[in-house]
Amino acid sequence: MSESGSIPRVYSRIAGTGSYLPAKVLTNDDLSKIVDTSDEWIAARTGIRQRHIAADGETTGDLAYHAAVRALQSAGVEPDELDLIVLGTTTPDLVFPSTACLLQHRLGANGCGAFDVNAACSGFLYAISVADKFIRTGDARTVLVVGSETLTRMVDWSERTTCVLFGDGAGAVVLKADAETGILSTHLHADGAKKELLWNPVGVSVGFKENEKNVGVRIQMAGSDVFKYAVKALDSVVEETLEANGLDRHDIDWLIPHQANLRIIEATAKRLDMPMERVIVTVDKHGNTSSGSVPLALDHAIRSGQVQRGQLLLLEAFGGGFTWGSALLRY
């Protein structure tokens, strides 16, 4: 109890970050040799210049491991100090056990809770939101949160409208309980009615066989519908976040958005009246890495020295489901 008699709030503060991109790079020019596209078209419509592709046999769990080791090192935390691992992914290594369990064992963090969260491209926002609740309620003090994907494993390389967009990668953060500041609020949403606009309609229960229309095992997307819905949903969650915290849009120091499309990022920045100099953009280097994208951008922003301790960061993402969400935090 505090002197005033109220129970003091506990915050989840970022103690360290890490990220990992597979070695192989596929540029827009490389893609133009596979499908009828060009660097000019892809860059103008999406801002993407290249993406990384996991090597044969390199899995989501491998990417997660490298990102996690870097995050633990930067936080100065040993794996056996972890109380929980929450991993956002829509491309798990196996049907089960979860990729979080595989990661837990490989890190040597045996014994702590570990589970995956599937919210497609919003996976990291969903994962960090769950982790924050564990810390705020006192059930955990040190949590590893990861977003990791090998999305290119389910890309149709003959479909130019989708194959140019996606890449593989992972990012991770270590959250620690803090008495002063950290995550201020998180906001999650979903609209399952829109599932067919962005999905991969196969699975254990439905079956993995391609159906008579030859769809499945591959990402299907209605690009311009997704674009319009994403811009609206992100506008609304940004408003919701500011209102919940009694903040003005000019109070935000950095926007760290999901890296799917530069034009969607610019639309959100415009809504926040934010110059692009205060928006972290890495989509040009790795395309849409789904759950990996926000922690990849965050790690880049911190390691490059752009984001400084004490600054206010707004994280947001949108993805299949539809799902979308935000996290406001003081770094």
Residue with the shortest CB distance to ligand COA: 223
CB 261 → ligand COA: shortest distance, Å?
A: 4
Q: Percentages helix, strand, coil for the chain, rounded to the nearest 5?
A: 40, 25, 35
CB 38 → ligand COA: shortest distance, Å?
A: 6
**Which is nearer to ligand COA, 39 or 81 (by Cβ)?**
39
Integer Cα distance of 303 and 307 in angstroms: 8
**Which is nearer to ligand COA, 103 or 164 (by Cβ)?**
164
CB 262 → ligand COA: shortest distance, Å?
A: 9
**Which is nearer to ligand COA, 37 or 60 (by Cβ)?**
37
Question: Are 153 and 54 within 8 A, CB to CB?
Answer: yes
**Which is nearer to ligand COA, 60 or 261 (by Cβ)?**
261
For the chain, what is the radius of gyration of the CA atoms?
A: 19
- Of 258, 261, 286, 300, the active-site residue reads 258
Integer Cα distance of 100 and 114 in angstroms: 5
CB 236 → ligand COA: shortest distance, Å?
A: 16
Buried b / exposed e along 237-249 (16+ C-beta atoms within 10 A): bbeebbeeeeeee
- Centre a 10 Å sphere on the Cβ of residue 111 and count the other Cβ atoms it contains: 9
**Please, which residues bridge with residue 189 across strands?**
324
**Which is nearer to ligand COA, 113 or 223 (by Cβ)?**
223
Q: Which spans of this chain sit near ligand COA (rule: CB under 6 A)?
A: 37, 41-42, 45-46, 121, 160-161, 164, 221, 223-224, 226-227, 230, 260-261, 288, 318-319
Catalytic (active site) residue 121: yes
CB 250 → ligand COA: shortest distance, Å?
A: 27
Catalytic (active site) residue 250: no
Displacement of CA 163 from its chain's centroid (Å): 19
- For residue 99, give Cα distances in angstroms to 8, 106, 126: 35, 11, 16
- Of 101, 112, 121, 163, the active-site residue reads 121
Residues carrying an active site annotation: 121, 258, 288
